[in-house]
Structure 1
C-alpha cells in the first residue's frame, strides 16, 4: 500500500500529456465570415491585412472592408474603409483593391463602375489614408486609368515595387494585361523609353487578376483564367527576367477540388523570404453555393520545387498554422 500511494503521488506531480501538448492553431478556411473575393494581402507593422471585394451584385458593391490579424488565424473586421460616398465618380462595382505603403501613407487602388467602353465614367482609382484601416479618401478626384489601352479593361489592379524602388501598376481584364510606370506621388504615370505609357505583357490564356512577386532574382507573374462565376476559375503563372517579360505560361497552380470547393482564383501572396514561407490568399465558392457572388476568402500554403517552380497548391478546409507576421 505504501508503494502504491507513492506511485500515485508521483503520477499526480507529473504534467498530463494533454497539459504538456500545445494545441496548434489553424486558420481554417474560409478565414473570416461573409461573401468576399479578390483578396489583396499585405503586412503592415507586424500585422497581416486582407483587402477583399465585397462579393455582391454590382449595384451593392459600394464599399470596401478590410481585415487584420496578428497570426493568420484570428481576424478583425474594419468596416467601410472606403465607399462611394468618398469617391464622387464611383457608383458601383468597387472591385479588387490593391494596397501599398509609401512615405508613411497608404495608397489603396481600386476598380469602379465596370466600364464597358471609353465613353463611360469609371476605371481604376486611388485612395489614400494615414493608417492601413483608413478611412481612405479619393487621391485624385477622378480615375487614374479610365480608358481601354491595348484592349485591357481598367480593372484588377496590382501595384508592384521593383528592386530599384520603382512602382508599377499592373492591371487588366478582358484577356489583356498592361504594365505602367507610376510617378512618385501616384497621381499619374511616367513614359517608358519608347514614349509609351502602357505596355502589354499578356501571357497565354490570361483573363484577369494579375499578381507579381520576386524570388531568387526572378519575376513570378501570376493571373486568373476561366470565368469567375464558373467552377474552373483558376490561377496560372509564368517566370521572367524582368517585370516586362517576356512571360511564357508555365501552368496552373491553383484550381478547384470538387471535394472541397470550386472556382478557386483571383489571389495574392504573403511572403516571408527569411523563413521561406509563402501563403496564397484567394477566393473560392463553397460546394453548397450556386450564386456566382457567393465567394469566400481562404489561405493555403504555397511551396516551390528545387528548380523554383511553384508546386500545385492543395486547397484545404484546415487552412494554415498560426504564424506571427515578423
Structure 2
C-alpha cells in the first residue's frame, strides 16, 4: 500500500520538527550514586568530579566524568584512590579541582576526622591530565586541624581576579577562607597575621562555593541535613571574598514532584558568555537511603539587579551545549 502524498508530507514535517529540537541532558546526567559534584571546564570539555555516594568505608576512590556537550558523558574511573594516598582510609569527599602551571590539582577531604588529633583532613592529588591518574601531592594532608570549629571538609578553591588562590572550606556549620601559597604546599597569613578567617553566614552548614559576576562576589553554601529532604542551597553577595556575607535566600531546593534533598552544588560559566549552569545532587523520589544521591544539572539565571533567580529543578536537564562551536 502506498503512503499518500499528504501522509508523506506530514511525516517529513514531524521529522523536521524533531530535528530542530535540541537534545537534552536529562537528569541525572551521569549513571550511578554520586554527590557533591564539582563542575568545571578544561579546554572544550566539561568535567564533573563527584563524591562516590556510598557508606563511608566504601568511599575509597574518586571517579570523574567528561563531556563535549553536556549530553554525552564519559566515565573516567578511579582517578585517585586510597592506594595512592597512604594517609587516607575512607570518606573521600567533595573534590575541587584547578589547573595551574600545566598541572591539575585535585583537592579532596578524607577520613571524616572528628578532632584535630585524628589522621586525615584535606589533601591534594596532582596529575598532568584532568582524568588522572592522580598521585598524592604532599604525602600528607594540606589541612588536618579544626579552626574556628570548621571540620576540614568540603573544600573549594577560589581563583580571584588578582591571581590569588584561596581555600574556602568547612563543615559543622562553620566556613573559613585561607590564602594558598602559589605552589599549594601550605598557606600564607593575611596582613593581620591571621591564617584562617571565618566567613560563616547565617544558616551555613557545608558545601561552600564562590564566583565573581559583574564585580560582585557570590558566596553559596548548603543548608539543612545532607541525608534529609530539605537539603538546599542559599547565597549571599559582597564586594570581596571575605564578605561580610549577609544571607539573601534559598535558590535551590527540593520539588516534591521531581526530587528531594537538592544541594551541595557547583557552578559552571561558559567562557566569554553570561551563561551559567548549576550542578548539584539530589535524591530520587521514593529513595530513603541517604547515600542514594544522583548528580544533576539545570540552568541558573540572574535578574536585572544581579540576584540569582531560584532554580527550577527538572527531569529534562539542559540543552546540548557544544563548547567547540
Residue 253 of structure 2: aligned partner: 255
Provide the TM-score with structure 1 as the length reference. 0.95
The equivalent of 2:78 in structure 1 is 80
TM-score, reference length from structure 2: 0.95
Partner of 1:182: 180
Q: 2:25 aligns to what SS in structure 1?
A: coil
> Matched residue of 1:85: which SS?
coil
1:3 maps to which residue? none
Aligned counterparts of 1:275 and 1:248: Cα–Cα separation in 2: 27
How many residue pairs get matched? 319
Displacement, 1:274?
A: 3.2
Match of 1:228 in 2: 226
Give 1:197's match in structure 2, choosing from 188, 195, 198. 195
CA distance in 2: counterparts of 1:250 and 1:13, whole angstroms:
54
Match of 1:66 in 2: 64
Which among 208, 211, 229 is matched to residue 209 of structure 2? Answer: 211
Bigger Rg over Cα? 1
Match of 1:302 in 2: 300
Alignment correspondent of 1:318: 316
Q: CA RMSD in A?
A: 1.6
Which residue number in structure 1 is paired with residue 144 of structure 2?
Answer: 146
Distance 2:323 2:226 in 1: 30
What are structure 2's unaligned runs of at least 5 residues?
none
Aligned counterpart, 1:238: 236
1:177–1:208 CA contact under 8 A, matched in 2: yes
Distance 2:46 2:9 in 1: 41
Offset at residue 163 of structure 1 (A):
0.4
- How much has 1:80 moved relative to structure 2? 0.0
CA distance in 1, matches of 2:271, 2:222: 24
In the TM superposition, residue 11 of structure 1 has moved relative to its aligned partner by 10
- TM superposition shift of 1:325: 2.5
Which string of whole-angstrom CA distances, capped at 9 and with x for unpartnered residues, describes residues 227-249 of structure 1? 00000000000000000001000
Partner SS, residue 71 of structure 1? coil
Whether the aligned pair in 2 keeps the contact of 1:43 and 1:325 (CA below 8 Å) is no
Alpha-carbon shift at residue 136 of structure 1 (Å): 0.2
- Corresponding position: 1:170 with 2:152: no
- Taking the aligned partners of 2:94 and 2:10, their CA distance within structure 1 comes to 54
Match of 1:28 in 2: 26
The whole-number CA distance in structure 1 between the counterparts of 2:88 and 2:180 is 22
Cα distance between partner residues in 1 of 2:50 and 2:323: 19
How far is 1:19 from its partner?
3.7
Cross-structure match for 1:4:
none
- Give the unaligned 5+ runs of structure 1: 1-6
Aligned equivalent of 2:129: 131
Tell me if 1:16 matches 2:8.
Answer: no
Deviations 1:167-209 (A, max 9, x none): 0000000000000000111110111001111010000000000
CA contact (8 A) 1:95 1:111 kept: yes
**Per-residue Cα deviation, 1:95-126 (whole angstroms, up to 9, x for no partner):** 00000000000000000000000110000000
SS in 2 for 1:18: helix
